[in-house]
Amino acid sequence: MATALCPGSFDPVTLGHIDIIERSARHFERVIVAVIRNPQKTQSLFTLEERQEMLAEALAHLGNVEIAFFKGLLVEFARDNGADAIVKGLRAVSDFDYELQMAQMNQRLTGIDTFFLSTSPLYSFLSSSLVREVARFGGDVSGMVPGHVNQRLLARFTGGGGEDS
Ligand code: ADP
């Protein structure tokens, strides 16, 4: 097994994502963190470039991790980039149905396998959408996201210039 793909929207990256990526980087020679350019997610808080900057800073200590963008079918991106496997984090039973279906569809499309890592219990309640919601209303999300991401959230919601109502 050489290359793994960790896909997501990372809007923004949380300590839960970082935990999954760090653990993937221990098991695979190369990890590509693939940021989805999703046209359906019109209400994203951070731009793709901002998300990439936050990921790059958060993952700078991992020498075998790179960041890329993709749109369209993940399995085609995987094939084009020489990825052997997809790695997803599983938080709770609520993730399971959809992730299982997606993994089976991807397997059917190109034969690629998906590996699931169980989330650390420290982060099983964490999602980017909840972090955005809590931060938007002034809640403290330090300890759930890297310090520099927390700074960006504070700047976005308290420092003016917010693009998201
Ligand atoms: P979110 O659901 O937080 O918006 P993404 O869509 O960016 O996150 O998800 C990317 C991947 O990261 C998915 O495989 C998801 O299961 C995983 N993930 C997200 N949050 C966590 C967490 N707290 N612990 C483990 N895995 C997570």
Closest-lying ligand 1 atom to the alpha carbon of residue 95: 16
Nearest to 146 by CA among 49, 43, 57, 24: 57
Q: Is 148 noted as a catalytic residue in this protein?
A: no
- pLDDT of the residue at 162: 44
Instruction: Give the whole-angstrom CA distance, residue 25 versus residue 21.
Output: 6
Of residues 37 and 148, which shows the higher confidence score?
Answer: 148
- pLDDT of the residue at 41: 56
3-state secondary structure 40-58: CCCCCCCCHHHHHHHHHHH
- pLDDT of the residue at 39: 65
Amino acid present at 86: I
- pLDDT of the residue at 94: 81
- CA–centroid distance, 17 to ligand 1, in Å, is 6
- pLDDT of the residue at 136: 96
- pLDDT of the residue at 95: 86
Q: How many helices (H) and strands (E) does the chain have?
A: 6, 5
- CA–centroid distance, 10 to ligand 1, in Å, is 8
- pLDDT of the residue at 165: 38
For the chain, how big is the Rg over CA atoms in Å?
A: 16
**Pocket residue to mutate for ligand 1, from 33, 44, 127, 145, most atoms within 8 A of Cβ:** 127
Average confidence score pLDDT of the chain: 93
Res. 142: pLDDT tops 60: yes
- Paired tokens of 143: 């300890």
- Bridge partners, residue 35, by sequence: 8, 69
Nearest to 110 by CA among 128, 133, 89, 83: 83
- What pLDDT band is residue 164 in, cutting at 50, 70 and 90? very low
DSSP 164: -
pLDDT tens digit sequence for 29-86:
999 999 998 766 567 999 999 999 999 999 999 999 999 999 999 999 999 999 999 9
Res. 131: pLDDT tops 50: yes
